[in-house]
């Protein structure tokens, strides 16, 4: 469970809007609120809202810390479960979900704002 107040505020800010992201600058503690429709490739680290779809089909509100310099790789994933934030890899997240590891992993995700380059979700060819 995430207990750090500043982190929870950041996560809540990103979770509540699909119109902007946080773009990191300097170190991980510093970020600008940026409105965009597409996150440009190779432009650094972003905090983006969205959802995680676990293996059982359940969808979880999420915030992703995404590295666009690594083709859209999630560096961190945070889940909003019953009004509480969890890191996706924390054992207490599975307990809060009431699901087994096999019901959760592997999972997929959707970003609220599209990435210009997303190695995990390439554009569908016609």
Q: Summarize pLDDT for 104-118 with one digit per residue, the tens.
A: 999 999 999 999 999
Predicted local confidence at residue 28, as pLDDT: 66
pTM of whole model > 0.95?
no
Taking 70 as the threshold, does the pLDDT of residue 78 lie above it?
yes
Q: Summarize pLDDT for 35-52 with one digit per residue, the tens.
A: 999 999 999 999 999 999
Predicted local confidence at residue 29, as pLDDT: 75
Are the beta carbons of 61 and 80 closer than 8 angstroms?
yes
Predicted local confidence at residue 124, as pLDDT: 79
d(CA 74, CA 84): 20
Are the beta carbons of 76 and 89 closer than 8 angstroms?
no
Alpha-carbon torsion angle 79, 103, 119, 77, nearest 10: 20
- Give every CB contact of residue 98 below 8 A, 6+ residues apart in sequence: none
């Amino acid at each position: 469970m995430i207990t750090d107040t500043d982190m929870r505020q950041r996560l809540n800010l990103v979770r509540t809007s699909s119109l902007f992201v946080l773009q990191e600058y300097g170190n991980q503690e510093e970020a600008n609120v940026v409105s965009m429709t597409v996150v440009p490739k190779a432009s650094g680290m972003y905090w983006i809202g969205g959802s995680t779809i676990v293996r059982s089909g359940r969808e979880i509100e999420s915030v992703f810390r995404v590295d666009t310099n690594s083709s859209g790789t999630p560096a961190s994933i945070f889940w909003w479960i019953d009004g509480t934030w969890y890191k996706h890899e924390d054992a207490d997240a599975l307990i809060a979900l009431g699901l087994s590891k096999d019901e959760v992993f592997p999972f997929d995700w959707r970003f609220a704002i599209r990435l210009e380059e997303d190695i995990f979700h390439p554009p569908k060819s016609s």
